[in-house]
Amino acid sequence: MGGVKAAQQAFTHHQRVRLLYKTVLKLHRGLPLELQALGDQYARDEFKRHKEADTEQAKTFMVEWTNYAISIAKQLGVRGAHTAKDLGSQLSDTDLEKFSDEQIYQLYELHEAATAQKKKEENTPKS
């Protein structure tokens, strides 16, 4: 725990946010291309949207995106998505109840984009 505190003091908030953002984008490189593009766009939008967040929102934002980065890193494993099992995780009803209406809508849009891409791939003839 002391190492985390030292790292927080070694970087400014802006530097920590930038490092987390770059880490997320690097992790996305291990995803299939369509998920990488979707993930990159979503991360970009979310980081821009929270640029002017208050201190409490910024803290929550950083914790949740750090947890996301850790989760993706574990799912991808050492060798990337081609060796990983299923990507993603299920949201519990308790988690969903914490979401605002806007977040539920964003989740729905993300689901629609992901499933549309999957359907497109399934309907594309293999060469």
Residue pLDDT, tens place only, 92-112? 788 778 878 888 877 787 778
Residue 70 lies in a domain: yes
Residue 100 lies in a domain: no
Contacts for 87 with CB less than 8 Å, ≥ 6 apart: 31, 35, 72, 75, 76, 81
Rounded to two decimals, the pTM is: 0.63
Residue 37 lies in a domain: yes
Structure confidence at residue 84 (pLDDT): 47
Q: Is the pLDDT at 85 greater than 70, yes or no?
A: no
Q: How many structural domains comprise the chain?
A: 1
- Domain with 38, as residue range(s), is 2-89
Residue 20 lies in a domain: yes
Contact 20, 62 (CB under 8 A): yes
pLDDT tens, residue by residue, 31-60: 888 889 989 999 999 999 999 999 999 999
Residue 54 lies in a domain: yes
pLDDT tens, residue by residue, 54-83: 999 999 999 999 999 998 898 888 665 554
Residue 97 lies in a domain: no
Residue 102 lies in a domain: no
